[in-house]
């Protein structure tokens, strides 16, 4: 039993390590995402994030970090919203139309040309995320996809797409959080962070 558990732990951590090594070899994709976010911040554009399940919590986590941890002195603050956070409005759209509409209908209330949409999906096939990003693309938003597996529909829709090279959903979602922290860490390094952690 303990031997099997040890094997699972080792295999899981090695899978994440392998993913991170491969992503680090394609750091230009992360650099593009960071540049897009900084430009959005400096131009007063909004950043919208979304996802389902674990990806919804990652979408919320990134917004939390952008709204506080990413604050740097002498720079504008980010304006960011997680479309996965308003449960009543999500349930209303789910009940009255379709779960596929929970993100796109919120975007219709807020989206302006030049805003940034970040979609998280382990498979890149989440219908509600894909539908929202297609709407964003048609209306002048910059679309960023953070996904895994084959990438699904994201590479066809997104201006920038980062694919975690794994078919293991848990590994993909873990790496997504690491990617977000990497992005925020880079933003902090380009200015003087308002907050430090000891």
CA 120 to chain CA centroid, Å, is 5
Q: How many C-beta atoms surround the C-beta of residue 189 within 10 A?
A: 11
**Cα-based angle 91, 92, 94 (whole degrees, multiple of 5):** 60
pLDDT in tens, 89-103: 999 999 999 999 999
Set out the domains of the chain in order of their start, with CATH numbers: 2-193 (3.40.50.10490)
What does the DSSP 8-state code read for residue 122?
A: S
pTM of the model: 0.95
**CA dist., res. 95 & res. 102, Å (int):** 10
Q: What is the pLDDT of residues 103-141, one digit of tens each?
A: 999 999 999 999 999 999 999 999 999 999 999 999 999
pLDDT digits (tens, 9 = 90+) for 161-186: 999 999 999 999 999 999 999 999 99
Question: Which residue has tokens 């929970």?
Answer: 102
Closest CA to 68 of 195, 197, 198: 195
Secondary structure of the chain: what % helix, strand, coil (to 5)? 55, 15, 30
pLDDT of residue 125: 97
């Amino acid at each position: 039993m303990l031997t099997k558990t040890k094997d699972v732990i080792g295999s899981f951590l090695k899978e994440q390590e392998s993913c991170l090594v491969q992503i680090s070899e394609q750091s230009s994709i992360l650099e593009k995402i960071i540049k897009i976010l900084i430009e959005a911040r400096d131009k007063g554009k909004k950043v919208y994030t979304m996802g389902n399940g674990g990806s919804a919590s990652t979408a919320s986590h990134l917004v939390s970090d952008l709204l506080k941890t990413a604050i740097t002195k002498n720079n504008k603050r980010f304006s960011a919203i997680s479309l996965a956070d308003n449960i009543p409005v999500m349930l209303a759209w789910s009940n009255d139309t379709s779960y596929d509409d929970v993100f796109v209908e919120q975007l219709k209330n807020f989206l302006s040309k030049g805003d940034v949409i970040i979609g998280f999906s382990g498979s890149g096939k989440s219908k509600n995320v894909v539908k929202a990003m297609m709407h964003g693309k048609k209306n002048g938003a910059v679309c960023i996809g953070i996904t895994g597996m084959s990438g699904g529909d994201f590479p066809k829709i997104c201006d920038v797409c980062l694919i975690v090279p794994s078919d293991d959903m848990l590994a993909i979602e873990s790496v997504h959080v690491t990617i977000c922290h990497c992005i925020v860490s880079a933003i902090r390094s380009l200015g003087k962070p308002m907050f430090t952690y000891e």
